[in-house]
Structure 1
């Protein structure tokens, strides 16, 4: 479990809420999107088609995000002390803005959405890679998706991530950056996420036809 978290941090993929939301109403794509970080290389090919689409979609979202100029601008707002953890921090901060402004993106209240997602994922947990079978109960217990909406919740997440890097990442200090550039980060997220939604819609349609 600890090793998997470290892997997530190293590979910059901590924006769980965004990945789940961008799966839209396709539950198989949602499963693929959720388990993607635990699926290495071409191992995705052993899964049913729509789950494969979710796995590949997750990878496409990560690539889109890693190379996006707005995301890079957000990273430059951060203190230089975080080094290669900048991307992880921006993932988490962007999920904060998605959660905080959830009503702009969904008619379903975030609390209900999270409850439904937790329930569905838990029903399918036996089919997940072992790492996710350990991660999901923690996500549910600490209600990550809803807690992203508050600065206090994000602060707890960042402190937890810092502990998992044994203090090397200094991510526990990133709440200071969030507060210092709060409106700028929010503007970055809003512009970026609009483009990401359009990209994801097109990419999902393409992957489903392959």
Structure 2
């Protein structure tokens, strides 16, 4: 899953949310430099990623993209699912998307001094360009895909993926709607264990 889903799934606790946000920027033993609560959020993020990557519904989404995007298919599915979540936000939260995203930015900003350098830089871009809210639009997705493509180590063609998203949107939406309730249930096992 991508940023919006991770933050949605960990919103019950600020430390879990911080851990979920910074997890991709924390490698190896560096996890031990954070409080136990933030470590739990990092582990939750990794658990969510593993659950997602191994899920048969997600595999179906990836298979559709694999012939064109190869190893970047998984990244694109994460992005596409965030787009579906943002577009259908009212199905999952009583709080409007814009209210949620602004609240998340404010909450994370209070903990920004704890972020690894790369997470700080990304957070600056995320808030300046309001990534989380703009995942709901095709234009916002195009900007995000352009950025991913620029940062990719190899030629990825991810900047072309918006056309795939639009062409097969109904399929991605259906797969997300089948998968996400299961992911919410999985994430709840982490939040309950944390309580």
TM range (shorter): over 0.9
The match for 1:142 among 120, 125, 129 is 129
Which piece of structure 1 moves more, 94-103 or 71-80? 71-80
- Root-mean-square deviation (CA, aligned residues, Å) is 1.5
Partner residue, 2:152: 165
How does the TM-score come out when normalised to structure 2?
A: 0.94
Alpha-carbon contact 1:35-1:128 (below 8 Å) kept: yes
Aligned 8 A contact 2:76 2:161 in 1? yes
Aligned to 2:23: 36
Equivalence for 2:53:
66
2-structure distance, mates of 1:187, 1:143: 26
Alpha-carbon distance in 2 for matches of 1:191, 1:26: 26
1:16 aligned partner: 3
* Separation in structure 1 between the aligned mates of residue 96 and residue 167 of structure 2, nearest angstrom: 28
The structural deviation recorded for 1:142 is 0.8
For residues 185 and 150 of structure 2, the distance between their equivalents in structure 1, rounded to whole angstroms, comes to 36
Number of residue pairs matched by the alignment: 195
Gaps of 5+ in 1: 1-12
Which runs of structure 1 show a deviation greater than 4 angstroms over 4 or more consecutive aligned residues?
A: none
Residue pair 1:77, 1:181 contacting (<8 A) in 2 also: no
3-state DSSP of counterpart to 1:132: helix
Distance in 2 between the 1:159 and 1:46 partners?
33
Unaligned stretches of 5+ residues in structure 2: none
Task: Identify the residue that residue 117 of structure 1 maps to in structure 2.
Answer: 104
Displacement after TM superposition at 1:122 (Å): 1.5
Which residue number corresponds to residue 87 of structure 1? 74
Q: What is the rounded CA distance, in whole Å, between the counterparts of 1:24 and 1:114 in structure 2?
A: 11
